[in-house]
Amino acid sequence: MGNILWMPFLLPVLASPFVYWVGKKSGKLASTIVVAITLFNIVILLTTIPSVLDSADHKYIESYTWIPELHSSLTFFVDGISLPITIVTLVLITCGTLFSVDYMKGRKSIGEYYFLVCLLSVGLVGVFITSNLMLFYFCWEMMLIPSFFLIGHWGYKDAYKVAFKFFIFTHAGAVFVLLGIGAIFIVTNDLDLFSAKAALLTASPDVVRWLLISLTGGFAVKMAIVPVHMWLPDAHSEAPAPMSALLSGVIISAGAYAIFRICLETVLPAVFPSGFGTHYLYGLAIFGLVSAFLGSFVALVETDIKRIIAYSSIAHMGYVLFGFALFPFEVAMIGTILHIVTHALSKGLFFLSSGAVMKELEIRDIREMGGLASAMPVTAFSSVTAGLSIAGIPPFACFISEFMIFVGAFQVINADGFFLIPTILMLVATVFSLAYSLRYVSKIFLGQRKIEKVGAAGTWMRVAMAILVVLIVCIGVWPGIFVQLISTTQFIP
């Protein structure tokens, strides 16, 4: 197999000026180019699956000379964790772009829109496929700039105000990430994740503690964990629906991935199983628990169609953070990583279906809706699929990931009784997930119709939603390949 992992990173960069130029003349053609590039990149990543499953270290790695003075190689890699998350990221970009064909029809600056989507994909993919911390930070910031303009220019009311709030919060978090990366280089004289892990084992425990706190705090902002979640409801609700799908499906998942890959895998082993390392995991469990309940409670009373889903994202990032607190128990870790994947697909579908409703009705208050199932059957079925998956109902995707998290939690309880109460409370939180999902579906699609003239979603909107519905059901019924990939990782502190 040749050197191929640079393609998902560089192809969108090289294609973006052409996408911009074509988009000036035809938005549909620009979207076709973006979809073609994304599908090509998916195929490239799929070819690495045999290497990940069968190689001795269960990784596919490419390394290029970059900045020798900083002991920094340009390294791309995929393993059982980054590969499924990257593939799902590209699937959501594909579906969001297809959805945009109808959703963005009639809007201005379409060339700029697809240009920014192309650049956003660089940041999203780059975060997951590099082990070089300098390149990681570059991609981390690359997620921020295109997102700011996508929210500000094509959002709804007060879009630039909301985009600025998103920028300030996430950039403030990025400062702590940069401080942590700088400290890792000072301590280890290395910017590669894998070699830095070994070097940190001999570092001062006091330095490692502050490293862990700084990096976790920075990543928690992107992940929208309470109390640094305030940017998320506004950004997700005001962004255009395809951007909301990426914000909730991928961008906050990047924060979760970073906590696992850098904080738990790379830094935590240097202070584990000391008292600080144990209390750090306890802290993750508590913050996860608070996020799960606050997100669920607010989603239960919200009336804005997109803010309900936005608060649901906060709740589910709470599930993920709680799962990370169970490190390094294998079943819990597999379930948590799988939940990043299943939540991304389910929440992406949830936001696309809400965008289809808003596009047709041009209202946001669910109290003014009702009875839309007969007029928008594909959208209704998509919303039901997404809602039941988010609620953890079989045979949809999130059920199996949540089930594995809780199976792992009960295993951890045998070793550490602290987790008994948090586990019971997290089980209670799943009941609220079902409650707000059923409320959402019933208020919008069931009962008496309050608006008579309602049409079906556009053809490409329905295609995008149908793709995600199929994937959510397939993973819920047969999660085998994802579990097999994730299981190749050794969760050793």
- Distance set, CA 89 to CA 20, 80, 199, 447 (Å): 22, 15, 32, 35
The 10 Å CB-count burial string (b at 16+, else e) for 167-204 is: bebbeebbebbbbbbebbbebbebbbbebbbeebeebe
User: Are 286 and 324 spatial neighbours (Cβ–Cβ below 8 Å)?
Assistant: no
236/278 Cα distance (integer angstroms): 34
77/192 Cα distance (integer angstroms): 11
Closest CA to 256 of 323, 319, 321, 300: 321
60/459 Cα distance (integer angstroms): 38
431/397 Cα distance (integer angstroms): 17
DSSP3 helix / strand / coil % (the chain, rounded to 5): 75, 5, 20
337/385 Cα distance (integer angstroms): 21
Token digits for 186? 């000072």
User: Are 285 and 322 spatial neighbours (Cβ–Cβ below 8 Å)?
Assistant: yes
The model's pTM: 0.96
pLDDT tens for the chain, 493 residues long, are 568 898 998 899 999 999 999 999 888 999 999 999 999 999 999 999 999 999 999 999 998 888 877 777 889 999 999 999 999 999 999 999 999 999 998 888 899 999 999 999 999 999 999 999 999 999 999 999 999 999 999 988 888 999 999 999 999 999 999 999 999 999 999 899 988 998 999 889 999 999 999 999 999 999 999 999 999 999 988 899 999 999 888 999 999 999 999 999 999 999 987 789 999 999 999 999 999 999 999 999 999 999 999 999 999 999 999 999 999 999 999 999 999 999 999 999 999 999 999 998 888 999 999 889 989 999 999 999 999 999 999 999 999 999 999 999 999 999 999 999 999 999 999 999 999 999 999 999 998 888 878 878 889 999 999 999 999 999 999 999 999 999 999 887 7
The per-residue pLDDT for 2 is 62
75/192 Cα distance (integer angstroms): 8
Helices 330-361 and 82-103: crossing angle in degrees, nearest 10, is: 0
- Distance set, CA 131 to CA 185, 187, 191, 257 (Å): 13, 17, 8, 13
Q: Would you kindly state where each structural domain of the chain is located, as residue ranges?
A: 295-493
87/124 Cα distance (integer angstroms): 11
User: Are 224 and 176 spatial neighbours (Cβ–Cβ below 8 Å)?
Assistant: no
Helices 275-301 and 305-324: crossing angle in degrees, nearest 10, is: 160
Concatenated DSSP letters of 445-486: HSSS-S-S---PPPHHHHHHHHHHHHHHHHHHH--HHHHHHH
DSSP state of 3: S
The per-residue pLDDT for 456 is 82
Tokens 């709804």, residue? Answer: 156
Token digits for 190? 């290395």
Q: What angle do CA 96, 386, 154 make, to 5 degrees?
A: 30
Count Cα neighbours of 138 within 13 Å in the Cβ-side half-sphere.
13
Tokens 């060339």, residue? Answer: 111
The per-residue pLDDT for 236 is 86
User: Are 85 and 489 spatial neighbours (Cβ–Cβ below 8 Å)?
Assistant: no
Coil, helix or strand at residue 491: coil
User: Are 191 and 134 spatial neighbours (Cβ–Cβ below 8 Å)?
Assistant: yes
226/86 Cα distance (integer angstroms): 26
